[in-house]
Amino acid sequence: MNVRQFINKWMILGALAVAGLLIVITALAIGLTSSPQTPGIGFVPADLTVIPAPTGTSSAPPTPTTDPFASPTPPAGVAIGNYVQISGTEGQGLRIRAEPGLDGAFQFLAFDAEVFLVQDGPRDVDGYTWWYLVAPYDETRVGWAAADFLTYIPAP
């Protein structure tokens, strides 16, 4: 028996045609029988907001600098008998000291928005103006604070 007589160009073309027909039928069967996939419950497409990077050049006008040799002036309204509020510490708190000056012993940490009554001062030490503060709600919370972090508030 000679196998060569069965392998000719018509046999190969016929086999390729049958294979192609089977592929087309399979593709159609898969496409027609499978249901489209739905997104899961709660799926929400995300919105993307592109924020441009800041440039190196600022359009803000220059801010004046303070003279380091000028005598410090207390903030408006800070005086003996007035109430002040701690501000500008950016959440770090203000160190209240036993004596005016950076070398004064640390008493406690006062936080932004905390209110105190001014009872003594001002004293100019270490380049800061210091005021003696007393917490109106707790007589044990007393000490000296730098005026740069005090804001005058009206009496409660």
Inside any domain, residue 89: yes
pLDDT at residue number 75: 52
Same domain, 89 and 147: yes
Asked if 141 contacts 135 with a C-beta cutoff of 8 angstroms, the reply is yes
| CATH for 130 | 2.30.30.40
Inside any domain, residue 18: yes
Is residue 34 classed as helix, strand or coil in its secondary structure?
Answer: coil
CA gap 116, 153 in Å, rounded = 10
Inside any domain, residue 61: no
> pTM score, two decimals?
0.52
Asked if 97 contacts 143 with a C-beta cutoff of 8 angstroms, the reply is yes
Inside any domain, residue 62: no
Tokens of 23: 């592929």
- Per-residue pLDDT reduced to its tens digit, 122-134: 999 999 999 999 9
Inside any domain, residue 51: no
Asked if 138 contacts 113 with a C-beta cutoff of 8 angstroms, the reply is no
**Domain span holding position 125:** 83-153
Q: How many domains does the chain have?
A: 2
Inside any domain, residue 115: yes
Mean pLDDT check: name the lowest of 68-77, 110-119, 130-139, 145-154: 68-77
> Which amino acid is residue 36, in one-letter code?
P
pLDDT higher than 90, residue 101: yes
Same domain, 87 and 148: yes
